Amino acid sequence: MRRRERVRGFVADNALSLVFGLLFLGSLVGQALAGWAQLNDAQHAEGLGRLTLGQYLVSADFAVDVTENWQSEYLQFLVYVMLTIWLVQKGSTESKQPGEEGPETDAEQKVGWHAPPDAPAWAKAGGWRTWVFSWSLFWMIAAIFLVSWGAQLVAGWAAFNETRLQDLQDPLSLGAYAVNADFWARTLQNWQSEFLAVGSMAIFTVYLRQRGSSQSKPVGEPHGSTGAEG
């Protein structure tokens, strides 16, 4: 009984991340099946053989479709985390209060001597460890972005050259593909949508409400109230 209660407690405490994890896996599976069918339709139209699902999952086509979305999402997070240090949007739940721009003081950030007893160990340690921990979110997001963007570059290069070879054209080098319109069209079509989405959210939360959501101000909160959450 206690084990069951612990499991229920874990699920309740982590419901948001668990649901998003399931949504991610479900959509990834759906993308794989739909992309497999789409590629085989194209293969059939060109008189080429069909691929098995396993062959498609290890293909450059699948890899580039997945990684180009991942890199743009993490770029969005990376840019937003950094810009919200220095820039504000009055009235937005996604912003600090005007006048609070910057990395803030040690007292405001509760580091070193100002850290409470239950603070993370590296927040209390001081020196390089506190500095690393203070920037750990940036480093993690930046690493995932760079790895996924690099994977998109390599996978896109392979997929692009496969098409060129089928059309009896010479393949491009990796460096040539890195400045090719195909790579940047794939990249920028994702970047612009991410910047639009996160910018829209910053503005929408000034004037619009969603009762009960932590991403919205309380319904009766004034429009000019900044950083307030429901």
Q: What DSSP assignment string belongs to 167-217? A: TT-PPPPHHHHHTSHHHHHHHHHHHHHHHHHHHHHHHHHHH---TT-TTS-
Q: Where are the domains of the chain?
A: 1-58, 59-230
pLDDT at residue number 147: 96
pLDDT at residue number 230: 60
CA-nearest of 112, 130, 186 to 156 is: 186
Which residue numbers in the chain have pLDDT < 50?
none
pLDDT at residue number 1: 66
pLDDT at residue number 150: 95
pTM of the model: 0.84
Taking the CB of residue 175, how many other CB atoms lie within 10 A of it? 9
pLDDT at residue number 228: 67
Residue corresponding to tokens 């139209």: 45
